[in-house]
Amino acid sequence: MSEDAKLDLLVFAAHPDDAEIGMGGTIAKAVREGQAVGLYDLTYAEMSSNGDPDTRQREAAEATALLGLAVRGNLELPDRGLRPGTAQSDKLVEAIRRHRPRAVFAPYFIDRHPDHIACSRLTEEAVFNAKLRRHMPELAAWTVDVLYFYFINDVHTPQLVVDITEVQPVKMAALSAYRSQFEPMGEGEDWVPTPLTAGYLDNVAARDRLFGAPHRLAYAEGFIPKGPVKMERL
* Of residues 102 and 112, the one with the C-beta less far from Zn ion: 112
Residue 56, interface with Zn ion (CB under 5 A)?
A: no
Listed ranges 18-26, 34-42, 59-67, 216-224: which one lies at the site for Zn ion (CB under 5 A) = 18-26
Least distance (Å) from Zn ion to the CB of residue 124?
Answer: 17
Polymer length of the chain: 234
Listed ranges 17-25, 53-61, 130-138, 204-212: which one lies at the site for Zn ion (CB under 5 A) = 17-25
* Of residues 14 and 204, the one with the C-beta less far from Zn ion: 14
* Of residues 22 and 101, the one with the C-beta less far from Zn ion: 22
Q: How many residues bind Zn ion (CB under 5 A)?
A: 3
Least distance (Å) from Zn ion to the CB of residue 53?
Answer: 14
Listed ranges 12-20, 63-71, 81-89, 95-103: which one lies at the site for Zn ion (CB under 5 A) = 12-20
How far is residue 6 from each of residues 10, 54, 65, 102, 112, measured CA to CA in Å?
A: 10, 28, 19, 10, 33
* Of residues 48 and 129, the one with the C-beta less far from Zn ion: 48
Residue 15, interface with Zn ion (CB under 5 A)?
A: yes
Listed ranges 7-15, 57-65, 208-216, 222-230: which one lies at the site for Zn ion (CB under 5 A) = 7-15
Least distance (Å) from Zn ion to the CB of residue 116?
Answer: 6
Least distance (Å) from Zn ion to the CB of residue 77?
Answer: 13
Q: Which of 7, 12, 18, 148 binds Zn ion (CB under 5 A)?
A: 18
Contacts (Cβ under 8 Å, ≥6 apart) of 13:
19, 39, 40, 41, 42, 107, 119
Residue 41, interface with Zn ion (CB under 5 A)?
A: no
Please report, as ranges, the residues that interact with Zn ion according to CB under 5 A: 14-15, 18
